[in-house]
Structure 1
Amino acid sequence: MLSFVARRVAAGVVLLFVISLLSYLLLSIPDLDVGRQLLGSNAPQATVDAKNAELGLDRPVFVQYADWLAHAVRGDFGTSWFTGENVVQALSTRLPVTVSLMLGVTGVTAVLSLLLGVWAGVRRGVADRVVQVLGVLGYALPGFLVTLIIVVVFAVKLRWFPAIGYTDIAESVPGWLSTITLPVASLSVAGVAGVSQQVRGAVIDVLRRDYVRTLRARGLPPSRVLFRHVLRNAAAPALTVLGMQFVGLLGGAVLVEQIFGLPGIGSMTVTYTTRGDIPVIMALVSVTVVGVIAVNLLVDVLIGWLDPKARTA
């Protein structure tokens, strides 16, 4: 297992390096003239050139990247070109918001998908059809429409939750729950639709295997067969899709945070990308890639623990 984890970590480090390099090169292609943006259109060209030199933009792009990488590996992402704010401090205030949102969505998706998928896989018939219809609806409805319906019903009509705003969990746990509930619900719909179908299909497939029939013939209780044997062997496909859903949440978080006014890295990405603020953008890229690598590593380890044959892949 240790060699299996070591291979995955090494692959993740290489992936992080490649993506950071490509991102830096792509960000450096447009001629943004950051010095002109910072000083204004009326600033003398000599002053603009001096500002660009101060930021290191007069050097070759590979030299700029090497300098950025040397500082980044020490946890120093520099300061924002436009606000002067320390990038690490800016991320530290916004990252917990996005992480709490994504963990909430992942938890809700995992629990509901497991319940619905097992229910549909074990009790074929009406239950199976209901789950399949819900899955199709969850996929068919656009994310913005689902979010709009949730806001109109639960925030505008019923007034159970606030429509916008965010309360830090350190200030008030009930307040935090009230502000995070609707964003979590809007992002969970598509995830539950997809993962529950995977759980359903995997459970049905395992229930048809010969060893399950043998266990039942030996008189083992149905609950023991289901929880100790069926779910263990059906978990791998569901975990894979759940990991992919988590990665996909990074894109959905941008829209949801904008709609609900959450001060997370999703809204931060939109603001700083339009400015071309490379230090902040590169920090966001690095954090995002590390998060994706960590989730994929966790999924691989869990699958390897459930299925020893997967460790040789």
Structure 2
Amino acid sequence: MLSFLAKRLVSGIGLLAVLTTLTYFMLRLGTGDVAQTIAGQSAGPEQVALIESRFGLDQPLASQFLDWAAAAVTGDFGRSWFTGQLVTEAVTGRLAVTVTLAIGSVALTAVIGVVLGALAATRRGWLDRLVQILAVIGQAVPGFLVAVGLVLVFAVQLKLFPATGYVRPGDSLGGWAMSILLPVAALTIGSVGGLAQQVRGSMLDVLRKDYVRTLRSRGLSRGRIVYRHVLRNAAGPGLSVLGLQFVIILGASVVVEQIFSIPGLGPIALTSTMQGDVPLVMGIVIVTGAIVVVVNLIVDLLQAFINPKVRMS
């Protein structure tokens, strides 16, 4: 198990290194004259040159990357070029909000997706068709349209939830729950159908196995067979999809947070990317990338726990 864990951890770190390298160069090559933007469009050449010297923008691009990477390895991600705030402060101050939305959505997706998938596999009929419809809607409808629709119906028309804004748990636990319910629902709707469809397909494959027929012949109840044997053996593909859904939800939260005016990583990710604020963007990329690596590692460990063949591979 330790060897399995070490291999997954090394591959995750390597993936994170490749991700940060590609992001840095694409961001630097894809932005215009950042020094001019920082100094202002009315700034003269001397002011622009001063900004370039201050942030090392007058150095070769490879040197800029190596300097940034050497500092980042020690945990120093620098300061925002536009606000001067420490990147670690800017990211950690908003990280909990984004992670809360993502975890809430993934948890809700897991519960609803597994229940719907299991029922669709064992009872068929209208539930089976419902799962297919949800999967198609989740793939076809953009997340921002779902978010806008929820706001129009439940906030504007029915006035059940606030349309925008965020309440911190320390201020009001009830207000916090009300403020994140619609964003979590918007993120969940797009992902629950895919998981339910995967669970349904995996369970149908397991239900056709010989050992399931043997269990039935021994007189075991349907519920015991499904929930103690079939569901566990069909959980592997579902876990893989759930891990992928977490990555998708984390990305979709950028837009959803903007729509609901939630102070997570989404608003500063959009703003810093448009401005070309490299230190802040890279800090966000590293943190979110590390979260994805950890989630994938947890999924791999769960897969190995459920299926010993995974550990052997």
**Counterpart-to-counterpart distance in 2, 1:60 and 1:197:** 50
The residue that corresponds to 1:14 in the other structure is 14
TM-score by length of 1: 0.95
Give 1:199's aligned amino acid. Answer: V
**Counterpart-to-counterpart distance in 2, 1:8 and 1:48:** 45
Report the 3-state secondary structure (helix = DSSP H, G, I; strand = E; otherwise coil) of the residue aligned with 2:32.
Answer: coil
Give 2:11's aligned amino acid. Answer: A
**How far off is 1:99 after superposition?**
0.4
The residue that corresponds to 2:56 in the other structure is 56
**How far off is 1:31 after superposition?**
6.0
> Taking structure 1 as reference, are residues 14 and 117 closer, same or farther at Cα in structure 2, changes over 3 Å only?
same
**Counterpart-to-counterpart distance in 2, 1:125 and 1:10:** 46
Q: Which runs of 5+ in 2 are unaligned?
A: none
**Counterpart-to-counterpart distance in 2, 1:180 and 1:57:** 40
**Counterpart-to-counterpart distance in 2, 1:187 and 1:31:** 30
Report the 3-state secondary structure (helix = DSSP H, G, I; strand = E; otherwise coil) of the residue aligned with 2:234.
Answer: helix
**Counterpart-to-counterpart distance in 2, 1:89 and 1:261:** 20
Moved more, 148-157 or 26-35: 26-35
Fraction of identical pairs, as percent: 50
**How far off is 1:16 after superposition?**
1.1
Report the 3-state secondary structure (helix = DSSP H, G, I; strand = E; otherwise coil) of the residue aligned with 1:29.
Answer: helix
**How far off is 1:68 after superposition?**
1.2
Where do 1:80-159 residues align within 5 Å? 80-159=80-159
In the alignment, is the contact (CA less than 8 A) between 2:143 and 2:256 conserved in 1? Answer: no
The residue that corresponds to 1:38 in the other structure is 38
Where do 1:1-313 residues align within 5 Å? 1-30=1-30, 32-313=32-313
**Counterpart-to-counterpart distance in 2, 1:31 and 1:169:** 38
**How far off is 1:107 after superposition?**
0.6
Aligned CA-pair RMSD:
1.5
**How far off is 1:307 after superposition?**
0.7
**Counterpart-to-counterpart distance in 1, 2:228 and 2:175:** 39
Q: Which runs of 5+ in 1 are unaligned?
A: none
In the alignment, is the contact (CA less than 8 A) between 1:163 and 1:260 conserved in 2? Answer: yes
In the alignment, is the contact (CA less than 8 A) between 2:108 and 2:188 conserved in 1? Answer: yes
In the alignment, is the contact (CA less than 8 A) between 1:250 and 1:266 conserved in 2? Answer: no
Give 1:214's aligned amino acid. Answer: T
**How far off is 1:50 after superposition?**
2.1
Give 1:83's aligned amino acid. Answer: T
> Taking structure 1 as reference, are residues 137 and 12 closer, same or farther at Cα in structure 2, changes over 3 Å only?
closer
1:194-220 per-residue CA deviation (whole Å, 9 max, x = no partner) reads 100111111111111001111121222
In the alignment, is the contact (CA less than 8 A) between 2:20 and 2:286 conserved in 1? Answer: yes
Give 2:208's aligned amino acid. Answer: R
Report the 3-state secondary structure (helix = DSSP H, G, I; strand = E; otherwise coil) of the residue aligned with 1:47.
Answer: helix
**How far off is 1:182 after superposition?**
0.3
**How far off is 1:17 after superposition?**
1.1
In the alignment, is the contact (CA less than 8 A) between 2:233 and 2:306 conserved in 1? Answer: yes
Give 1:39's aligned amino acid. Answer: A
Moved more, 136-145 or 218-227: 136-145
In the alignment, is the contact (CA less than 8 A) between 2:134 and 2:192 conserved in 1? Answer: no
In the alignment, is the contact (CA less than 8 A) between 2:202 and 2:237 conserved in 1? Answer: yes
1:259-308 per-residue CA deviation (whole Å, 9 max, x = no partner) reads 10111111111111111000001111111211111111111111111111
**Counterpart-to-counterpart distance in 1, 2:276 and 2:202:** 45
